[in-house]
């Protein structure tokens, strides 16, 4: 059995170690507390700075998140170094941990890189209406890893930036105006010229439809049961959908009034006596 003197030796070594590390531990705790307060203070300053400046909302959100994470990592390095971990050892440790985390989080790193590409090349910005990854919606927020869309039904769709930056995107707000294309079938016995004139009159009556470029109507196809007319017109983005639905409604009402038939599938049954 160990003698009392041996236990006393272990106790003395432990006390010496605590006394030796205690100043560093206290200093590290002070650095952590003060540093955390400084990080929060800088984050508030960054937020106020972006509020005063008219920067892109996507850039603001991305940079604020990036600055916050970078400052916290820097604080972590300072605290660990103060506890006696050598810089060379810390670099090796961070490198090994970074490799392990990188292999485990390849998708997240790809999303981060995708977010950077979106901010650099700007295929869309906050407020744009886009179609991507099978989802249509208005861009609500662009963060480090994801982009949030508000859909027609006011749901929030969250798309990974990695896939978003590497696939097709349709930005409906990239230009100020949009062209609509509506196909309308009329019966073979109907007057084509009269139908075209009615469609052009409808466009002329709609304030949201642009006069230049002028609306146009063409015979697009001689189908099995109808003559298909193609109506094309231009409208500003904010007027597009109202004009689209109004033209469809007015077409049915005015064709009925003018006696122009819009064919529909039907089945004739003949009974033999």
> Domain segments of the chain: what residues?
7-120, 128-171, 177-258
Q: Specify the pLDDT at position 1.
A: 47
- With a cut of 70, say whether residue 12 has pLDDT above it: no
Across 145-166, average pLDDT? 91
Does the pTM of the predicted model rise above 0.95? no
Contacts of 50 (CB under 8 A, 6+ apart): 60, 63, 64
Across 107-122, average pLDDT? 82
Across 35-61, average pLDDT? 73
Confidence band of 208 (pLDDT split at 50, 70, 90): very high
Across 121-148, average pLDDT? 90
Closest CA to 244 of 187, 184, 169, 155: 184
Confidence band of 20 (pLDDT split at 50, 70, 90): low
- With a cut of 50, say whether residue 103 has pLDDT above it: no
Q: Specify the pLDDT at position 240.
A: 95
For residues 40 and 61, what is the distance between their CA atoms, to the nearest angstrom?
16
7-120 and 177-258 agree in CATH topology: no
More confident: 62 or 41: 41
Does the domain formed by 177-258 have CATH 3.30.70.100? yes
CATH topology of domain 7-120: Helix Hairpins (1.10.287)
Q: Specify the pLDDT at position 204.
A: 95
Sheet architecture: strand order including 169-171: 156-160, 146-150, 135-142, 129-132, 169-171
Q: Specify the pLDDT at position 59.
A: 65
Confidence band of 142 (pLDDT split at 50, 70, 90): confident
| Arch. (CATH architecture) of 128-171 | Roll (2.30)
Q: Specify the pLDDT at position 10.
A: 59
Confidence band of 252 (pLDDT split at 50, 70, 90): very high
- pLDDT one-digit tens code per residue, 219-235: 999 998 899 999 999 99
What CA dihedral angle connects 7, 9, 15 and 20, to 10 degrees? Answer: -150
Q: What angle do CA 72, 143, 63 make, to 5 degrees?
A: 50
């Amino acid at each position: 059995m160990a003698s009392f003197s041996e236990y006393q030796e272990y106790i003395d070594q432990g006390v010496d170690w605590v006394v030796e590390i205690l100043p560093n531990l206290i200093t590290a705790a002070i650095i952590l507390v003060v540093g955390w307060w400084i990080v929060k203070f800088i984050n508030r300053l960054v937020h106020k700075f972006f509020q005063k400046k008219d920067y892109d909302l996507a850039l603001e959100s991305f940079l604020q998140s990036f600055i916050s994470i970078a400052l916290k990592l820097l604080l972590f390095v300072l605290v660990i170094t103060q506890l006696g971990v050598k810089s060379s050892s810390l670099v090796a440790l961070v490198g090994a941990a970074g490799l392990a985390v990188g292999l485990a989080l390849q998708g997240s790193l790809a999303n981060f890189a995708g977010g950077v590409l979106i901010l650099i090349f700007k295929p869309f910005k906050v407020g744009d209406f886009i179609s991507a990854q099978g989802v249509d919606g208005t861009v609500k927020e662009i963060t480090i890893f994801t982009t949030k869309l508000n859909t027609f039904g006011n749901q929030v769709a969250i798309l990974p930036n990695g896939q978003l930056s590497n696939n097709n995107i349709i930005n409906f707000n990239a230009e100020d105006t949009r062209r609509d294309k509506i196909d309308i079938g009329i019966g073979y016995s109907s007057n084509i010229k009269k139908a075209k004139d009615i469609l052009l009159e409808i466009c002329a009556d709609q304030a949201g439809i642009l006069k230049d470029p002028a609306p146009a109507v063409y015979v697009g196809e001689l189908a099995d049961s109808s003559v298909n007319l193609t109506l094309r017109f231009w409208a500003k983005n904010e007027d597009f959908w109202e004009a689209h639905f109004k033209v469809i409604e007015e077409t049915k009402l005015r064709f009925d009034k003018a006696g122009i038939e819009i064919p529909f599938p039907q089945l004739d049954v003949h009974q033999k006596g």
